[in-house]
Structure 1
């Protein structure tokens, strides 16, 4: 896939992994980005940092249907098509299910999964007009291996994984490459309240993601060979993961007790 002159539509592109993806795509020759985000200031900062880029900047919350429709409308008013849709926006609230607020449950589902599905639906006509298109969905390592205190977040990210798989097969006769990215803990604002060491950089995640796109990979899994082995263990011998969690339960609880980025 040649990314030069491609038109890219991205959610959550004003910070973290999303912003790193924009940087990486610029190195591949992309000049046109449509970005939706909840902070107008962060959106405006993109134009100052990347002066050579043509931006369509739309403030909005992807948990809201009207914001999604407005985003697609703004893009349609400016472009005849899009070549790459990146569903990157996400939030997290770690807690036991009993203690998690109803609002945090609903918001995680609406932003991480429902909004992603709805935006894909609304943007699909624009993707289908591209000669060579891509759909990149950002899941999480927790979408493969669920951990305690992340029940809702893990459910949304597993939903992203299966949605991608279904769309890849639904669009099997179309010229749209569907792929999913599974970051591990990444050093972004979203992880600032979690007690985690040795996080990946957002730049690494972006580089691996774009390389995966160029190579037409369907899954980009961060975390190295050990993560691949753990995924296999979780699928074939899930009680081994249960045993490990039981032995480290208090550490999981301490590490996640303040982790919230909503």
Structure 2
């Protein structure tokens, strides 16, 4: 896909992978609609995009609010003149034992990680079709491919958006809209600040800039998936071959993992 001079709607753009994606995409002189809950960080990213030669508008929004996805898409179409690429990047997390997580925390994760991107995509499809070479990018997670203790709801939502992307790609095959699923491993973003999980726990971290670069390269190359994190890739492959062995291996470190992710929350 040629990303030069494209209109791109990017959610979760104020920090982390979203911020890195905005700056990586700025090399292509795009028109970016930056979406997030807080106007301040979005304005900072927009200024950096403009310094790099791109155009940027800011659309503050809570994507889990009723009607927000359709409103955001309408605002982006109006301000950009269309939408060529939708990047569903916004996400949240709350780790912990399922029975210890509040119902509101379960619903918040499903709302932002799964429901919102589905509704955004649904609203954006007419514009993406009109583009003639449209694309949807879903930023899932390695935990959407590998179930991890204490991330049951998060993993379910991230697996759901990945399956949504795969099904939609086949639904839209030959119709001018490509779908790319991205599976980051642990990434050094504000979303991970409250987690003490490190490489010895299976969470070897990389920078958001590395994830963004791989995502944009995958989009340009027309890839179907981008999976990040060497240990995550190995564990996913092993889980396909012998899931019971993975169960036994992870069980040995389960108590320690529960401790280091006990406060992991971005809600």
TM-score range with shorter-chain normalisation?
A: over 0.9
Q: Confirm or deny: 8 A CA contact 1:65 1:115 kept in the other structure.
A: no
Q: Confirm or deny: 8 A CA contact 2:70 2:119 kept in the other structure.
A: no
Q: Secondary structure at the match of 1:81?
A: coil
Q: Confirm or deny: 8 A CA contact 1:143 1:154 kept in the other structure.
A: yes
**TM-score normalized by structure 2?**
0.94
Is residue 238 of structure 2 the alignment partner of residue 233 of structure 1?
yes
Task: Give 1:201's aligned residue.
Answer: 207
**TM-score normalized by structure 1?**
0.95
Task: Give 2:201's aligned residue.
Answer: none
Task: Give 1:175's aligned residue.
Answer: 176
Q: Secondary structure at the match of 1:93?
A: coil
Is residue 231 of structure 2 the alignment partner of residue 243 of structure 1?
no
Spell out the pairing of 1:1-262 with structure 2 (5 A cutoff).
1-27=1-27, 29-51=28-50, 52-197=53-198, 198-224=204-230, 226-262=231-267
Q: Work out the CA distance in 1 between the residues paired with 2:240 and 2:29.
A: 38
Q: Confirm or deny: 8 A CA contact 1:113 1:159 kept in the other structure.
A: yes
After superposing on structure 2, the runs of 4+ consecutive aligned residues of structure 1 that deviate more than 4 Å are none
Q: Work out the CA distance in 2 between the residues paired with 1:158 and 1:189.
A: 22
* Structure 1 residue ranges without an equivalent (≥5): none
Displacement of 1:229 after TM fit? 3.1
Q: Secondary structure at the match of 1:180?
A: strand
Displacement of 1:80 after TM fit? 3.8
| Aligned-CA RMSD value | 1.3
Q: Secondary structure at the match of 1:65?
A: coil
Aligned length: 260
Q: Confirm or deny: 8 A CA contact 2:46 2:58 kept in the other structure.
A: no
Q: Confirm or deny: 8 A CA contact 1:80 1:126 kept in the other structure.
A: no
Pair 1:227–1:124, CA change in 2 (3 A):
same
* Structure 2 residue ranges without an equivalent (≥5): 199-203
Q: Confirm or deny: 8 A CA contact 1:164 1:179 kept in the other structure.
A: yes
